[in-house]
Amino acid sequence: MTSDQKTLKDHNMKYIGIDGCRPGWFFVGLDENDKYSFGVISEISEIKNEINKAEQVLIDIPIGLREIDKKERLCDLEARALLDNRRSSVFPPPSRLALNQNDYHKASTVNFECTGRRLSKQSFAISEKIKEVDDFLFNNNLRNKIREMHPEVCFWALKGKKAMAYNKKKPEGIRERTLLLKQFYNNTERLIDEAKAKFLRKDLAVDDVVDAIVGAVTAKNKNNLMTLPVNPEIDNRGYRMEMVYCEIN
């Protein structure tokens, strides 16, 4: 773990947002007083204790998965429809049965046999992380504690159900998201600056930080959480196929 162990021990992270990054995962934890902790971990299990004590954890990774089914997840279809094409970045996750394949072509073949779709390079690139979270939830019975979010859906909700105007990889996209987050979390810029100062750009991109923050901010609004779709499907492991966002009144 490359976060501050003492900080984690002393800080009660009630609301956690997690996003993937090159070394593994970047997390942001908030408490009821808006104090924050953050860090980079190689595996989700490194913050298992913090997750167990948290009230809500949101992670940017597919959780509920198809196995043998040609239908796409409804949450992906709905998310793609409400976000415009430039901002969507919503692609079908692999079949759970394809996650055991380390070779792209083999994984794509298994996925085609299970779903009728070849596996995109994007989906295969995060297959290892999907499997990690899938196994972590299964082995620790945390399916109600950790829920799936898509950052762009969370931003869409915070913006009054309007898609963001700029790509998150561009400076104007980072600024757009930062200004929006500041309306809901005063320490947004300070947190971003501290994370940029602590971690190398090759290990942690600014958009990773922003995505984890929107997850934590959304988690803190746990009493106003909504889902895509309204009535999530349930997969073979009992996980909800959903994307969570908060309803802003």
If we measure between CA atoms, which residue out of 66, 40, 67, 64 comes closest to residue 244? Answer: 64
Residue 113 domain-assigned (yes or no): no
For residues 178-204, average pLDDT: 97
pLDDT digits (tens, 9 = 90+) for 33-86: 999 999 999 999 999 999 999 999 999 999 999 999 999 999 999 999 999 765
For residue 53, what are the domain limits? 1-63+72-90+133-249
Give the per-residue pLDDT at 29. 98
Residue 151 domain-assigned (yes or no): yes
Residue 40 domain-assigned (yes or no): yes
pLDDT digits (tens, 9 = 90+) for 115-127: 999 998 888 999 9
Give the per-residue pLDDT at 136. 96
Beta bridge partners of 248: none
Residue 121 domain-assigned (yes or no): no
When pLDDT is cut at 50, 70 and 90, the band that residue 11 belongs to is: low
CB proximity list for 241: less than 8 A, separation 6 or greater: 63, 64, 65, 66, 73, 74, 75, 232, 233, 234, 235
pLDDT digits (tens, 9 = 90+) for 214-237: 999 999 999 999 999 999 999 999
CA–CA gap between residue 112 and residue 208 (Å, rounded):
30
CA atoms within 13 A on the CB side of 43: 10
Give the per-residue pLDDT at 5. 41
Residue 119 domain-assigned (yes or no): no
Residue 128 domain-assigned (yes or no): no
Q: How many folded domains does the chain comprise?
A: 1
Give the per-residue pLDDT at 6. 39
Least confident range of 79-93, 121-135, 151-165, 211-225: 79-93
Give the per-residue pLDDT at 89. 76
